[in-house]
Amino acid sequence: MSPEFVIASIVTIIGLTTPILLAGLGELITEKSGVLNLGVEGMMLMGAISGFVITALTFNPWLGVIGAAAGGALSSMLFAVLVLQLNSNQVATGLALSIFGTGLSSLIGVSFTGRIVPQFGSIFPDALAKDPILKLFFGYSPLVYFALAMVPLTAWFLKSTRAGLILRAVGENDHSAHSIGYSVTGVRYAAIAFGGAMAGIGGAYFSMVITPMWAEKMTAGRGWIALALVVFAGWRTGRLLAGAYFFGFLMWLELFAKANGFGNSLPFVQAIPSQFWAAMPYVMTVVALTLISSRGNVGASAPACLGKPFLPST
Partner 1 sequence: MQTPPRLDLSGITKRFPGVLANDQVSFAVQPGEIHALLGENGAGKSTLVKMIYGIMQPDAGEIAWNGARITIANPKAARKLGIGMVFQHFSLFEAMTVLENIALGMDAKIPARDLEAKIVAVMQQYGLKLEPHRIVSTLSVGERQRIEIVRALLLNPNLLIMDEPTSVLTPQEVEQLFVVLRQLAKEGCSILYISHKLHEIKALCDTATILRGGKLVDTCDPAKETSRSMAEKMIGGSLKDIQRGEGRALGTAKLTVQNLSIPKDGPFGIALKDISFSVKAGEIFGIAGVAGNGQNALLLALSGETPSLKPDAIQIDGSKIAALTAKQRRLAGMASVPEERNGHAAVPDFSLSDNAILTARDRMGMVSGGMVNARSARTYAGEVIAAFSVKATGPGAMADSLSGGNLQKFIMGREIMQKPQVLVVSQPTWGVDAGAAAAIHQALVDLAATGSAIVVISQDLDELLSLCDTLAVINEGNLSKPMPVAGANIEEIGLLMGGVHGDPNAPTHISSEVAHAY
Chain residues binding partner 1 by CB under 8 A are: 162, 165-166, 168-169, 172-173, 175-177, 179-182, 296, 301, 303-304
- Shortest distance, CB of residue 180 to partner 1, whole angstroms? 6
- Shortest distance, CB of residue 32 to partner 1, whole angstroms? 11
- Shortest distance, CB of residue 243 to partner 1, whole angstroms? 20
Query: How far is CA 83 from each of CA 86, 160, 168, 212, 309, rounded to the nearest angstrom?
Result: 6, 28, 19, 34, 7
- Shortest distance, CB of residue 165 to partner 1, whole angstroms? 6
Residue 29 neighbours by CB under 8 Å, 6+ apart:
154, 157, 158, 167, 191, 194, 195, 198
- Shortest distance, CB of residue 230 to partner 1, whole angstroms? 16
- Shortest distance, CB of residue 93 to partner 1, whole angstroms? 21
Between residues 130 and 175, which has the closer beta carbon with respect to partner 1?
Answer: 175
Between residues 124 and 157, which has the closer beta carbon with respect to partner 1?
Answer: 157
Closest CA to 64 of 171, 173, 214: 214
Residue 250 neighbours by CB under 8 Å, 6+ apart:
277, 280, 281, 284
- Shortest distance, CB of residue 303 to partner 1, whole angstroms? 8
Q: Round to whole Å and give the CA distance between 227 and 225.
A: 5
Between residues 218 and 233, which has the closer beta carbon with respect to partner 1?
Answer: 233
Between residues 263 and 296, which has the closer beta carbon with respect to partner 1?
Answer: 296
Q: Round to whole Å and give the CA distance between 85 and 79.
A: 10
Between residues 128 and 300, which has the closer beta carbon with respect to partner 1?
Answer: 300
The three-state secondary structure class of 135 is helix
Q: Determine the longest span between alpha carbons in the chain, in angstroms.
A: 68
Query: How far is CA 285 from each of CA 203, 229, 235, 292, rounded to the nearest angstrom?
Result: 22, 7, 12, 10
Between residues 2 and 313, which has the closer beta carbon with respect to partner 1?
Answer: 313
Between residues 99 and 165, which has the closer beta carbon with respect to partner 1?
Answer: 165
- Shortest distance, CB of residue 153 to partner 1, whole angstroms? 19
The three-state secondary structure class of 213 is strand
Between residues 34 and 109, which has the closer beta carbon with respect to partner 1?
Answer: 34
Q: Round to whole Å and give the CA distance between 84 and 154.
A: 23
Residue 215 neighbours by CB under 8 Å, 6+ apart:
109, 113
**What is 240-303 written as a DSSP string?**
HHHHHHHHHHHHHHHHHHHH-TTTTS-HHHHHS-HHHHHHHHHHHHHHHHHHHHHTTTSS----
